[in-house]
Chains A and B, each alone.
Chain A
Amino acid sequence: MDIILQKISEYLQKGDEEKVFELTKQAIGHNFDTKEILDNGLIAGMNIIGEQFKKHEIFLPDVLMAAKAMYAGMDQLKPLLIKDGIQGMGKIVLGTVHGDLHDIGKNLVGIMLKGAGFEVIDLGRDVPAEKFVDTALNEQVKVIGLSALLTTTMSVMKEVISILKVKDTTNSIKTIVGGAPLSKDYAKEIGADAYAYDSANAVESVKELIGVN
């Protein structure tokens, strides 16, 4: 790996957005392949961050500072990715279910997924069940991510999954659920394809769901 890409990864891990911005600019200036900058610089750095977070070697603020640095680099790469028609890891629809206004957990999952190279369509909070499914079908997404913080709104997740089963005739869209009151058993009970206990685990689970490493 070229030293400049390695440095992007290192400064990203340190949460130094100014350096990441500058180095990404340099890499583009040196005609590095856009996908190479993305994969071997930015995503490589975020992957290390994700691993360290999973092992409790670093903490949420470290991850979020790294994510900010990632976005600083991504801001420059985005026009090139679009121009070159480079596809990311896949599209994901994300939102907090109807009746629930808590979005901090969902936001963290979105940040981590974007950091891993996914395109995230964030529907926000208090999202009606139909909207998840319709957006997923219209945007040809691979996974729907559902978040809930209240026990009373957890049932909406089941509603989304039921609607999806009817509308997604090819059965190609997977579902992942998460939120403080949820459990693996509950996810299984409502027919979700995966359950994520935190944001780092969400990335791992989504990758597993769509069969990428």
Chain B
Amino acid sequence: MSEIINFNISEIIPTREEILREQGVSQGIEVKEKINKLILKALDIFKSKAQPVGILSEISIKGFEEVFIGEGKNAKDTPLENIFPQADYLALFALTISKKVSETISKFFKENDFAIGSLLDSIATLASYKGTKVIEKYFQKSIQKKHLTKQETTVLSYSPGYCGWHISGQKKLFQFLRPEKIGLSLNASFLMTPLKSVSGIIVYGKKEIHIFQDNYPFCLECKTHSCRARMKKLINQ
């Protein structure tokens, strides 16, 4: 059964430093006062427009096997297919920052207010990442409470469109999770609207299960290798 999770904006709002980094400004570099004022303005707009909400639904390993297969378009070998069978618990999730934020970003660009539009876009992107962390923690706590599990277990999420899990996997994920309840929809290309939304699977289990070598064929096409930072963070936890 799915559960709707309402966020407090303060849980997901990024810091000035995080916003600047997302805009390509290295840590420690001072920007003009005009930019600082624009950041504050963008944050105020975000606070007034964002209505973050999430949906979570526990799923068995067997149930997720079917979701993960999706439309049969995944890469031949993926890290997630080795990870999720070792999980203690799994949950499908989706979250959205709100349609209003995406509309406001588009409006700013149409009106040539590019800087504020771009800052708001960065804030919404960062907020959606933070929202994912909030849902991960929520799931972790609820499992620990329900099953009195050991504290050393960890949670990490994976999304269709990354690491060999084909984007078309969204179709099955949507069929199971029904995130339409929180205002999400899927287009013919399997992309979610509103755009500032995240979906995926949360894997609860020992942290070792998430550690893999990023030498899959699709890793050659990946420029970010963000999995490395995720794994490093887990190891250091």
Which residue numbers of A lie inside 8 Å of B, CB to CB? 15, 56, 59-62, 64-65, 67-68, 71-72, 98-102, 104, 107-108, 111, 126, 150-154, 180-183, 186
Contacts and interface: CB of A to CB of B under 8 A. Distances in A.
Given A59-B35, A98-B189, A99-B167, A151 B114 contact: no
Q: How large is the interface on B (under 10, 10 to 19, 20 to 34, 35 or more residues)?
A: 35 or more
Given A101-B189, A101-B195, A126-B187, A111 B114 contact: yes
Contacts of B173: none
Contact of B222 (A59, A60, A151): A151
Contacts of A108: 114, 118
B235 interface: no
A180 B189 contact: no
CB-CB nearest 3 A-B residue pairs: A64-B114, A64-B115, A99-B189
Interface in B174-219: 187, 189-191, 193, 195, 218
B58 interface: no
- Looking at chain A's contact residues, the main secondary structure is helix
A72 to B, nearest CB: 8
B115 A61 contact: yes
Given A64-B115, A65-B114, A107-B109, 20 more contacts: A15-B115, A59-B23, A59-B35, A60-B115, A61-B31, A61-B35, A61-B38, A62-B32, A62-B35, A64-B114, A64-B118, A65-B38, A68-B113, A71-B112, A102-B195, A104-B105, A108-B114, A151-B221, A180-B224, A186-B221
Contacts of B25: 59-60
Nearest to B115: A64
B101 interface: no
Interface in B12-63: 20, 23-26, 29, 31-32, 34-35, 38
Given A99-B189, A101-B189, A65 B118 contact: no
A62 B24 CA distance: 12
A67 B115 CA distance: 9
B162 A59 contact: no
Contacts of A99: 167, 189-191
A100 B112 contact: no
Which of B109, B112, B193, B195 has the largest count of A CB atoms less than 10 A from its CB? B112
Given A59-B24, A68-B112, A150-B167, A101 B193 contact: yes
Nearest to B163: A151
Which of B20, B167, B189, B224 has the largest count of A CB atoms less than 10 A from its CB? B189
Contacts of A100: 189, 191
Interface in B144-161: 161
A182 to B, nearest CB: 7
Given A151-B161, A186-B221, A61 B118 contact: yes
Contacts of B105: 104
B170 to A, nearest CB: 11
B208 to A, nearest CB: 26
Contacts of A181: 221-224
B136 interface: no
A108 B105 CA distance: 13
